[in-house]
Copies of this chain bind each other. A is one copy, B any other.
Amino acid sequence: MGMGNLTSTSDDILACARSLIVAGGYNGFSYADIADVVGIRKASIHHHFPSKLDLVRTLVARYREEAKAGVAKLELQVSDPLDQLRFYVGYWEACIADASAPFCVCALLASQLPVLPEAVGLEVRAHFRFLSEWLTSVLERGMQQGQLRLTSSPRAEAEAFMATVHGAMLSARAYGDPKIFAVVTGQLLVRLALRIPCDESHEAQ
């Protein structure tokens, strides 16, 4: 077929697999699960993605592309470094609140890295590096503009930022309470913004 459907079957498969991975990781779903949801047969999935490895590698690669596109768009639309961080955190806050995608695919897969096919592991690692580098650049710029005050190097602070966001996703899931994500990440932002002078003592949400 010459395409035409705005959402092709292979897109449906990828979207379904993504949400299944977000729920239970690489070994937490099967082709049968996808077939049930998408409404096709197992064999048809193999037509689009010969092996599970192909499916997940493609899925993560696409996820990374979307992340890169999202960041690029953010860089264009929002110039203020602190606002960029706010936007990034707010994006996840919304995803977690409406349960549409309550976890980062790569963060979840990273937790099971030892049992992942190597090709997938490499994609996952690449996402971490990308995110870390972007956050580093944002923090660096915020520092140079005197808007953010860091207590250690931009790189180290970026790693801490990323780790805290991932940990906040985990806690929100563990407690079954989306609000905990905002509680944790809110402090992150306040802490970075607070450091403008060293005068009055704000109280964080």
**Nearest residue in B to A173 (C-beta to C-beta)?**
B113
**By the criterion CB–CB under 8 Å, are A152 and B108 in contact?**
no
**Nearest residue in B to A204 (C-beta to C-beta)?**
B152
* Cα of A159 to Cα of B165 in the assembled complex, Å: 12
The reply on A63 being an interface residue by CB < 8 A is no
Shortest CB–CB separation between residue A21 and chain B, in angstroms? Answer: 10
* Cα of A175 to Cα of B155 in the assembled complex, Å: 14
**Nearest residue in B to A30 (C-beta to C-beta)?**
B27
Q: How large is the interface on A (under 10, 10 to 19, 20 to 34, 35 or more residues)?
A: 35 or more
Q: Which residues of B contact A171 (CB under 8 A)?
A: 128, 159, 162-163, 166
* Cα of A152 to Cα of B25 in the assembled complex, Å: 34
Q: For residues 24 through 71 of chain A, which have their beta carbon under 8 Å from a beta carbon of chain B? A: 24-28
Q: Which residues of B contact A159 (CB under 8 A)?
A: 171, 180, 183-184
* Cα of A180 to Cα of B158 in the assembled complex, Å: 11
Give A58-87 as 1s and 0s: 1 = Cβ < 8 Å from B's Cβ atoms. 000000000000000000000000000000
**By the criterion CB–CB under 8 Å, are A174 and B24 in contact?**
no
**By the criterion CB–CB under 8 Å, are B114 and A111 in contact?**
no
* Cα of A124 to Cα of B125 in the assembled complex, Å: 27
Q: Known contacts A27-B27, A111-B173; is A184 also within 8 Å of B204 by CB?
A: no
Q: For residues 150 through 200 of chain A, which have their beta carbon under 8 Å from a beta carbon of chain B? A: 151-152, 156-157, 159-160, 162-168, 170-171, 173-176, 180, 183-184, 187-188, 190-191, 194, 198
Q: For residues 98 through 125 of chain A, which have their beta carbon under 8 Å from a beta carbon of chain B? A: 103, 106-108, 110-115, 124-125
**Nearest residue in B to A106 (C-beta to C-beta)?**
B174
Shortest CB–CB separation between residue A22 and chain B, in angstroms? Answer: 8
Given contacts A113-B174, A160-B187, A164-B167, 18 further A-B contacts (CB under 8 A): A24-B27, A25-B25, A107-B111, A108-B111, A110-B170, A110-B174, A114-B173, A125-B174, A129-B175, A151-B190, A151-B191, A152-B187, A157-B187, A159-B184, A162-B167, A163-B184, A165-B167, A167-B168
